Amino acid sequence: MTFRDEAQQRADDILVFRRELERLEREGVPALPVERREAIARHHEGLLAALSRDFNIDRDVMEKKLSLGMKVASFLGALALAASVFFLFRQFWGLFGTLLQVSILVGIAFLTFAGTLLFRERDASGYFTKLAAMVAFTCFVLNVFMLGQIFSITPSDKAFIVWAAYALLLAYACDLRLLLAAGILCLVAFVSARTGTYSGLYWLHFGEYPENFFPAAILLLLAPLWVRHERYAGFSAIYRVFGLLTLFLPMLVLANWGRASRLDIDPKMIEGIYQLFGFAGSAAAIWFGMRRTWPEVVNTGMVFFVIFLYTKFFDWWWDVMPKYLFFLVVGLTAILFLVVMRRLRRAAAHAESEGAAS
């Protein structure tokens, strides 16, 4: 066992096993002979102690709750420290000569990277590694951005690919989902800017045309198929969620504002086309997510399906319906949606149990 997530999964399984054993005993079902049960308990205790020592796992529900708080604290702390580094530099950089400014920028990028690697070796919990990695990423972003400012370098979208590469390097080296998300955002910016420049657009305006984001979305959705992530828990899910967001958010904009499209046709027709794509795409995401047991894909698909549906309701009925009726229709639609989803869930469970039986 080499990774914290695997260790945590094993500890969770042990807890589930113990709880079920206790339930069986209370219900009077003879599960295991006493000596065998004690032997298993001793083995589990040793295993939990070892896992706790080596991977700093949560051994019970209380520890898990505390861990969640620590995750939130480390996330906020990482953001705050990153902001602090930025403002610290801005506060004093004008007092230094150019050579010293550049030395500080480069030096601090190297130092924070080395610090992150050091934390990775010593911090089994990962919380402090996450903090250090976020600060290292910020320092590198600051390094490149400030070099551009100091020397009036022409702004370039290439900065995004360098930042993306660095964030992904830290994410994979330290198994950090926060840095993976940061890397993905930089990657989306780079690919979208490049898509825009191929049609002659000045790169900084890539956000003006939502269709520029579609190639990045496809890339993100395909990434988990190219790169195996068995060792990185949750990485594939993050790629898929960001892929879907990068796909559906521009679609949502275009479904309501056809003038933003690159297509040179009637804006109303563009809006109709993207509404259709939005419904079909989110329904397909729900179906595909259920088939592949990807809950994050199902949930993202559902959220966008509902948003597309409700924006259409708003377009059609907000002005013509009394408000009580409008909200009643919205509420009834939600209930209908729940019924359909429950049926789908049952069908999926049935298919799964049949598959397991055969």
Partner 1 sequence: MIAATNAVALIGVAYNRSGEPESALVLSKREIARVGNWGFRREDSGLELGLRWRVPGGDALGYVYGSDASEEDGPSWIDRDRLASLGFAIPESGDGGKQRRSMERQQSRDALVVLELDGPAYRNDVARARRRAEEARERAAAMPDDRALTQRAEATKKHLVRMESEETRLYIIDAGPDLATLRAKYPDRMRHAIVHAEIRPLFYERKGKQRLSVSVRLTTANIIVPLEYRDTLERSRGPGADVKIAFGKRLEPWIVAVQPRSDSTSDTGKD
Only one of the segments 66-74, 152-160, 233-241, 304-312 lies at the binding site for partner 1 (rule: CB under 8 A); that segment is 152-160
Q: Which is nearer to partner 1, 258 or 281 (CB)?
A: 258
Only one of the segments 5-13, 24-32, 105-113, 285-293 lies at the binding site for partner 1 (rule: CB under 8 A); that segment is 105-113
Only one of the segments 58-66, 67-75, 144-152, 178-186 lies at the binding site for partner 1 (rule: CB under 8 A); that segment is 144-152
Fill in the per-residue mask, 174 to 203: x = in contact with partner 1 (CB under 8 A), - = not in contact: ----------------------x--xxxx-
Three-state secondary structure of 143-206: HHHHHHHHCCCCCCCHHHHHHHHHHHHHHHHHCCHHHHHHHHHHHHHHHHHHHHHHCCCCHHHH
Alpha helices in the chain (DSSP H): 4-26, 34-55, 61-92, 98-122, 127-150, 158-174, 177-198, 214-226, 235-256, 267-292, 295-317, 323-357
Which two three-digit tokens encode residue 54? 């080596």
Q: Which of 30, 34, 151, 324 binds partner 1 (CB under 8 A)?
A: 151
The dihedral through the CA atoms of 346, 350, 351, 352 has a sign that is positive
Q: Is 95 in the site for partner 1 (CB under 8 A)?
A: yes
Smallest gap from residue 141 Cβ to partner 1 (A): 11
Smallest gap from residue 262 Cβ to partner 1 (A): 8
Smallest gap from residue 263 Cβ to partner 1 (A): 10
Q: Is the distance from CB of 31 to CB of 87 less than 8 angstroms?
A: no
Which of 221, 228, 211 shows the shortest CA–CA distance to 243?
Answer: 221
Count of residues binding partner 1 (CB under 8 A)? Answer: 43
Q: Is 110 in the site for partner 1 (CB under 8 A)?
A: yes
How far apart are the C-alpha atoms of 161 and 125, rounded to whole Å?
Answer: 30
Q: Which is nearer to partner 1, 22 or 208 (CB)?
A: 208
How far apart are the C-alpha atoms of 131 and 136, rounded to whole Å?
Answer: 9
Binding site for partner 1 (CB under 8 A): 87, 90-98, 102, 105-106, 109-110, 113, 140, 143-144, 147-155, 162, 165-166, 169, 196, 199-202, 204-205, 208-209, 259, 264
